[in-house]
Amino acid sequence: MDSNQISPTLSQGMEHISKILGPASKASIPDIIAMVIAAVVASVYLSRGIVWDKPDPYAYTLFERPQQQEGAGGVKALSDAQKRDERNIAKRMAETGKTLVVFWGSQSGTAERLAAQLAKECQLRFGIGTLCADLSDYDPESISELGSNHIAIFILSTYGEGDPSDNATGLWDWMQNTTAAGSSDEGPRLANLRYGAFGLGNSNYKNYNRVIDVTVAFLDNSGAKSFVAVGKADDAERSTEEDFLSWKDSLFSVFRTDFQYVEKVVEFQPTMAVIEDVSLEPIDLHHGEPTHAADNNKKGAAACSQIQTLGIKNARELFTSTNRHCVHMELDLSEYPEMNYKTGDHLALWPSSPSNEVELLTQSLGLQRKMDTPLLLKSLDSSNVKIELPSPTTIRALFTCYLEICAPVSRSTVEGLAQFAPNPEAKAFILKLGQDKQAYSTYLTHTHVTLGRLLSLASNSTGRWSKLPLEFVIESLPRIQPRYYSISSSSVLSPRRVALTALVASDPLPKNPQVVINGVASNYLLALMKAQVPIHNLAGIIAPEYDLAGPNGSLAQGQKLYAHIRRSKFRLPTQSTCPIIMIAAGTGLAPFRAFIAERAKLHNVGKPVGQMLLFFGCRRPEEDFIYQNELLQMQKGLDNGKESLFKIVTAFSREQNSPKTYVQHRVNEYGTDIVRLMEEEGANLYICGRATMAREVSSILGDFLIQTRRWNDGQAQNWIQDFRKRGKWREDVWG
């Protein structure tokens, strides 16, 4: 029906209505039309989902992985029962015919790497069918279904204040809930389970290796039997690799004697294939752009933003000395409206490797002409090995952006290099270091042993390690990780600009001061600062060189960097009137700069704010008292006429003609004020800096309570733990 037909029909209809209603109704015809239209619209709307626009009951499949959809390669979506079976470790072991499972819980990748190495070595050395298992891939309660013919090994890291890694939170919650439920008949029965355990931690932290301790206690209380002594690594002593090797020797000894496994000589067998594929175009490759591990699907990824290229603003040097450096840098978020932060959050920086280390490793391997050859990385054992590195890629991207080529080489890796030595002299040198723990330890005190340096030194810079497979190099080096910095700006005052404060690490070896270990990320920031500031303002700065252009020129010759935001629980109190006590040394001042600035702004606009007490320590006031003028200016603005709402207590460890004073000493002096503020006025206490400093502050406050109240150590610790549990004592510390 066309428009010419519609008009007469409508007109006739309206005449009919007029006759029925009579002359008195003519004036209301427009109202009647409106009512009819409204009724039709309402009827159509109310019939939605019944008559028309019915929801698709299978719409949810659009959000599933393609391989789980009907018609995607012929694979049907998994049923709930199938999904449970996929996450059942006992059924997985039975399906694959494995005897040993190595569970790992890893935050930075070290525990994951050690677990993969152990699983591979158990398979090759003893012929044990071994599964390397990410704890987040399996339901923890299915561990109770493992039989007496199975062996389980747990390699678990502890980070922060005794927290499990993100991928181990499922196991952690299961253990906590099961323990809380008590020893009922419905609880897990692990009497058939034989297990071994190794923990990774840092003794500078109060809860050193807490995760493995809790796990072992749970397993023992559930009837499981340990067949080897628990091993623990201590990153504070930089002995993680050696601690693991010692524990592994004990484990293998049990395999030989108690389990009667026959040991074989092991030669390198790759778990991945590196395939050159010149048919790939540059657009197909990963050139060094960083990615979150496992495509950002791991638990805990919700706490992180996407990785972006952020423009650098207002880069400047904070120290006045010429031999030590501290970088202040602000990053522009204005291009990414979805990217935001809160005061107290962390900024994650993705660095690249220094150009000289990339060149040294490339030359040692004789790969200079293959730097940009396209490479495909493929797992040869998908049940045990997941390729976390982006693929396809290039050697340039691997060595510059994806692998920690500046990481120290473990003794086991050194020993494994011997079979690929370019000449007998190099082989003898490598074997001596790899097989002799004392020789290796002594060597480390005089030389920073990166892979490139070791290969060059072993061959006296004359031989090329052309027999060394690229697969060995990739499997031996950890994946490069982001470095986290406490944000030193307030999201209230600077919502679209994030500030970071970084001490540049350049530490000489104690036995050989001519050799310096440069922090990869902090020196990268220093190089970026040099690109921002005219060189005459940075006289005397000597630092490693970096490729500041970035992958495919994405970083605009050092005008940008790759970064993301990570959420933190290090927050100001909700009530601005709540007093705060802040304890920091060095760049630990960063988040407190933001805290104080935010409170100062509230005070300036007439809002009430609570008392602020800052303890700050550095070497000398004239050298490394960062943000000193800012703090003094804010202190002046926070003067309410009677007294300042903001008090600064300083501690200088190397001031001329004065004894060494650290923040923990000043905390002891002000113990009465701290305890009063916390108990009587509900103050929050914050500590930011090295874990050793935080531990000593806790110890000193405990001693203060013991001395002044005649408490015992247990009572003092309970006092501190109570404030921790209530969120009134918070720490943002590093090793």
Tens digits of residue pLDDT in 637-655: 998 777 789 999 999 999 9
pTM of the model as a whole = 0.84
Confidence class for position 295, pLDDT limits 50, 70, 90: very low
Calculate ∠ Cα 188-194-199, nearest 5°: 90
Task: Check residue 503 and give its pLDDT.
Answer: 96
Its sign, for the CA torsion 184, 185, 191, 197, is negative
Task: Check residue 32 and give its pLDDT.
Answer: 66
**pLDDT tops 90 at residue 9:** no
Q: Tell me the CA distances in angstroms from 505 to 241, 331, 544, 691, one per residue in order.
A: 22, 21, 12, 17
The C-alpha atoms of residue 683 and residue 675 are separated, in whole angstroms, by 9
Burial class for 20, CB neighbours closer than 10 Å (0-12, 13-18, 19+): exposed
The C-alpha atoms of residue 37 and residue 60 are separated, in whole angstroms, by 36
| CB of 189 closer than 8 Å to CB of 219 | no
CATH 3.40.50.80 segments of the chain: 580-733
CATH 1.20.990.10 segments of the chain: 272-292+350-476
Sequence-ordered alpha helix ranges (H) in 200-347: 210-221, 240-257
CATH 3.40.50.360 segments of the chain: 81-180+187-258
**pLDDT tops 80 at residue 360:** yes
Q: Cis link prior to 140 (omega < 30° from 0)? A: no
Q: Tell me the CA distances in angstroms from 590 to 182, 462, 485, 645, 649, one per residue in order.
A: 44, 47, 9, 20, 16
| CB of 132 closer than 8 Å to CB of 384 | yes
Its sign, for the CA torsion 431, 432, 433, 436, is positive
Longest dimension (CA), the chain: 117
Per DSSP, 403 falls in state B
CATH 1.10.287.3510 is held by the domain 272-292+350-476: no
**pLDDT tops 50 at residue 229:** yes
Confidence class for position 152, pLDDT limits 50, 70, 90: very high
The C-alpha atoms of residue 668 and residue 493 are separated, in whole angstroms, by 34
Task: Check residue 483 and give its pLDDT.
Answer: 95
Task: Check residue 189 and give its pLDDT.
Answer: 79
The CB density around residue 68, as the number of other CB atoms within 10 Å, is 13
CATH code given to domain 81-180+187-258:
3.40.50.360
320's CB contacts (< 8 A; 6+ apart) are 622, 623, 624
Q: Tell me the CA distances in angstroms from 91 to 87, 88, 270, 289, one per residue in order.
A: 8, 5, 27, 38
Per DSSP, 393 falls in state B
The CB density around residue 724, as the number of other CB atoms within 10 Å, is 15
CATH 2.102.10.10 is held by the domain 580-733: no
| CB of 719 closer than 8 Å to CB of 706 | no
Give per-residue pLDDT as tens, 440-476: 999 988 888 899 999 999 987 666 899 999 999 999 9
The C-alpha atoms of residue 473 and residue 64 are separated, in whole angstroms, by 36
Q: To the nearest whole number, what is the mean pLDDT of the chain? A: 88
